[in-house]
């Protein structure tokens, strides 16, 4: 059995540029066990799937108490590092985000995804506001004496912006630098599928890069320099389609 500190440090060490940690996202204790039984080195949740499994939409519609309960159940079900997709931290103000993440840390989770989109509205938090929110998360972890992996998600490419690609890239890299200075351990950039752009992000800033796999070969993403690959809601959608098909056959 690994203790919490071992899990946290193991998880961080798994982020290697060009040899990515591949995460097949889980949504409850049962799915986490199934992924663990397949030989996964770590477990990560996806907020969309966790919410859908309990009858809610994504975007913090799932009450935070239920999200924390699901996290605790997953941590208890597997002897692996568990990172939780905590969306926008269920708050806007940095102090409240820190308090909420302190509760997440108490579940035994050793990391989180934390996004910069304004949940429930359009647009992104400013760089300054989001950096302050990340700093609050780091402070909450330090107050608990917990090693904690902050995977800072930027939705610069995921908001349907009509800005030129080079403008979006500059914005993403500026956010990456600010988030690193604020205490982030990784950079998650969903919405980027072009190999050249992925490779540029990996090379142009210091944080290990996480991308969401959308049909690409894992080897191709590794060649771009990514350090982490997520599957988002795809595992849940595939599992539910299989369940529906099996039930329909009856």
Cα–Cα distance measured from residue 89 to residue 151, given in angstroms and rounded to the nearest whole number: 12
Strand partners, 117: 124
Rounded CA-CA distance 18/46 in Å is 23
Residues 6+ away with beta carbon under 8 Å from 93: none
CA dist., res. 149 & res. 233, Å (int):
21
Q: What is the average pLDDT across 241-246?
A: 98
The whole-number average pLDDT for the span 160-174 is 90
Arithmetic mean of pLDDT, 56-79: 98
pLDDT confidence bin for 45, thresholds 50/70/90:
very high
Residue 187: count of CB within 10 angstroms of its CB? 27
Q: Are 8 and 81 in contact, with CB atoms under 8 Å apart? A: yes
Residue 56 has pLDDT above 80, yes or no: yes
Domain boundaries, the chain: 4-249
User: In the predicted model, is pLDDT for residue 231 greater than 80?
Assistant: yes
- Asked if pLDDT for residue 1 goes beyond 90, the answer is no
Q: pTM higher than 0.95, yes or no?
A: yes
CA–CA gap between residue 30 and residue 67 (Å, rounded):
15
State the burial class of residue 98 (Cβ atoms within 10 Å of its Cβ: 0-12, 13-18, 19+): buried
Residues 201, 192: contact at Cβ < 8 Å?
Answer: yes
Q: Is the pLDDT of residue 161 over 80?
A: no
Mean of all residue pLDDT scores within the chain: 97
Q: Please identify which residue in the block is written with the tokens 């072009």.
A: 194
CA 121 to chain centre: 20
pLDDT greater than 90 at residue 163: no
DSSP-derived letter for residue 102 is H
- In the beta sheet, which residues pair with residue 212? 230
Q: What is the CATH number of domain 4-249?
A: 3.20.20.60
Tens-digit pLDDT profile for residues 108-147: 999 999 999 999 999 999 999 999 999 999 999 999 999 9
Local structure of residue 129 (DSSP, 8 states): H
Using DSSP, state whether 79 is helix, strand or coil: coil
SS3 assignment, position 71: helix
Burial of 62-96, coded b for 16+ CB within 10 Å and e otherwise, reads bebeebbebbbebbebbebbbbbbbbbbbbeebee
Q: CA–CA separation, 172 vs 87, rounded Å?
A: 18
Note the pLDDT of residue 162: 77
Lowest mean pLDDT among 85-94, 116-125, 153-162, 178-187: 153-162
Instruction: Identify the helix (H) or strand (E) that includes residue 77.
Output: helix 64-77
């Amino acid at each position: 059995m690994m203790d919490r500190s071992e899990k946290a440090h193991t998880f961080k060490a798994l982020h290697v540029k060009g040899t990515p940690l591949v995460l097949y996202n889980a949504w409850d204790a049962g799915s986490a066990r199934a992924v663990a039984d397949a030989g996964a080195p770590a477990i990560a949740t996806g907020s969309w799937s966790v919410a859908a499994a309990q009858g809610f939409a994504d975007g913090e519609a799932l009450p935070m108490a239920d999200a924390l309960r699901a996290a605790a159940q997953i941590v208890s079900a597997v002897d692996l590092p568990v990172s939780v997709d905590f969306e926008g931290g269920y708050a806007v103000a940095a102090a409240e985000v820190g308090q909420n993440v302190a509760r997440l840390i108490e579940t035994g989770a050793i990391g989180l995804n934390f996004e910069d989109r304004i949940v429930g509205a359009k647009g992104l938090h400013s760089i300054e506001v989001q950096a302050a929110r990340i700093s609050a998360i780091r402070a909450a972890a330090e107050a608990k004496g917990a090693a904690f992996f902050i995977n800072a998600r930027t939705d610069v490419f995921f908001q349907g912006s009509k800005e030129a690609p080079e403008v979006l890239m500059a914005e993403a890299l500026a956010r990456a630098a600010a988030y690193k200075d604020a205490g982030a351990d990784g950079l998650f950039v969903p919405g980027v599928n072009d190999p050249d752009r992925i490779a540029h992000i990996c090379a142009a800033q210091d944080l290990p890069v996480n991308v969401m796999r959308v049909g690409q070969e894992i080897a191709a993403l590794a060649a771009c320099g990514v350090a982490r690959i997520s599957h988002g809601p795809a595992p849940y959608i595939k599992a539910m389609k299989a369940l529906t098909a099996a039930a329909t056959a009856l």
